[in-house]
Amino acid sequence: MQESTLRTNFALNTTIGEIVAADYRTAKVFENNGIDFCCGGKVALSAICQEKGINPDTLLREIETIKNEHIDRSQNYTSWELPFLVDYIVNTHHAYLKENDEQIASYARKIAGVHGAHHPEVIEIATIFEKIATDMAAHLLEEEEVFFPAIKRAYAERKTGNAPSQEDCNVIKESLAKLGREHEEIGDAIHTIRHLAKGYALPEDACNTFMITYQKLKEFEDDLHKHVHLENNILFPKASQL
Ligand SMILES: [Fe+2]
Ligand SMILES: [Fe+2]
């Protein structure tokens, strides 16, 4: 078998999550092609191409082009040490959620009240977002108070050549399963919102608050994709090896 064929087969059997974990810039290619790389990242490239009717060669070429561009270490998340990755997630993505969740929920409630009669989808969007915000608060708390500290302790033990405590191993194992499930639920909920909002296309009678709400929801979704990607595809596999 020729070397190029081997390479192609390898890439086609690789999952979307693995490709993005190896180089986050490839996320743009998947986004542009309407492919979910975080919550739905466990699917092989060949399977998703078949499902979406995309030519795999074109997609591979786009991925190769982006990968050949120079990459800065500040974007090379896989190369970071676990404690640094954990702090990065908390200081960027968790901070974003804590600053924005309540504001977006209140915008969504407002447009539901004003525009709900003509656009019933915004009532549903407000209800779903409310649940996301509540679930997310509990999710972040568990990561910051339970899961991440256990990862840091286990990492420190490994670093000095010792085995992590049984208690931390149990916490990591249980959290991985539970948090992974929650990522899927939250991911599904935000996809439902995108679907209801027709990809955040504004109706003709949209007011400023309507526009800001959709902009914020889109921003929320983008932030969530990156956040869940860093956890599902980089942090979780590394944590499970501790
Ligand atoms: Fe998180
Ligand atoms: Fe999470």
Distance 165 CA to ligand 2 centre (A): 23
170 lies in the same domain as 56: no
pLDDT tens digit sequence for 85-140: 999 999 999 999 999 999 999 999 999 998 888 999 999 999 999 999 999 999 99
Per residue in 141-168, pLDDT (tens digit) is 999 999 999 999 999 999 999 999 999 9
- Which ligand lies nearest to the CA atom of residue 144 in the structure? 1
Boundary-marking domain end, from 57, 75, 93: 75
- Measure 241 CA to ligand 1 centroid, in angstroms: 19
Between the CA of 50 and the centroid of ligand 1 the distance, in Å, is 31
- Chain-centroid distance of CA 56 in Å reads 23
Of the bound ligands, which one is closest to the alpha carbon of residue 186? 2
Residues 153 and 125 in one domain: yes
Ligand minimally distant from the alpha carbon of residue 236: 2
Residues 144 and 212 in one domain: yes
Query: Do 112 and 187 belong together in one domain?
Result: yes
Mean of all residue pLDDT scores within the chain: 89
How close is the Cα of 157 to the center of ligand 2, in Å?
24
Do 65 and 92 lie in one domain? The reply is: no
222 CA distance to ligand 1 centroid (A)? Answer: 14
Considering all CA atoms of the chain, what is the largest pairwise distance in Å, rounded to the nearest integer? 64
Q: What is the pLDDT of residues 22-32, one digit of tens each?
A: 888 888 888 88
Residues 99 and 202 in one domain: yes
- For ligand 2, the distance from its centroid to the CA atom of residue 126, given in whole angstroms, is 22
182 and 129 co-located in one domain: yes
pLDDT score of 8: 58
Stronger pLDDT, 76 or 191, i.e. the higher one? 191
pLDDT of res. 216: 95
Q: How confident is the model at residue 39 (pLDDT cuts 50, 70, 90)?
A: low
Domain boundary among 75, 95, 129: 75
What distance in angstroms lies between residue 31's CA and the mean position of ligand 2's atoms?
20
> Between 201 and 205, whose confidence is greater?
201
Q: Are residues 48 and 127 in the same domain?
A: no
Q: Of 75, 92, 107, which residue is a domain's last?
A: 75
Number of domains in the chain: 2
Quick one: 199 exposed, middle or buried, by C-beta within 10 A (0-12, 13-18, 19+)? exposed
CA–centroid distance, 56 to ligand 1, in Å, is 32
Distance 137 CA to ligand 1 centre (A): 10
Say yes or no: 121 and 186 in one domain.
Answer: yes
Distance 94 CA to ligand 2 centre (A): 9
> Any idea which ligand is nearest the CA of 178?
2
Say what the pLDDT of residue 1 is.
Answer: 43
Same structural domain, 126 and 198: yes
CA of 60 to the centre of ligand 1 (A): 30
239 alpha carbon to ligand 1 midpoint, in Å?
Answer: 14
- pLDDT of 22 reads 81
Q: Are residues 164 and 115 in the same domain?
A: yes
For ligand 2, a single-atom ion, the residues with CB < 5 A are: 231
Are residues 66 and 85 part of one domain? no
CATH code for the domain of 11: 1.10.3910
Domain that holds residue 165: 80-240
Q: How far is the CA of 89 from the centre of ligand 1 (A)?
A: 6
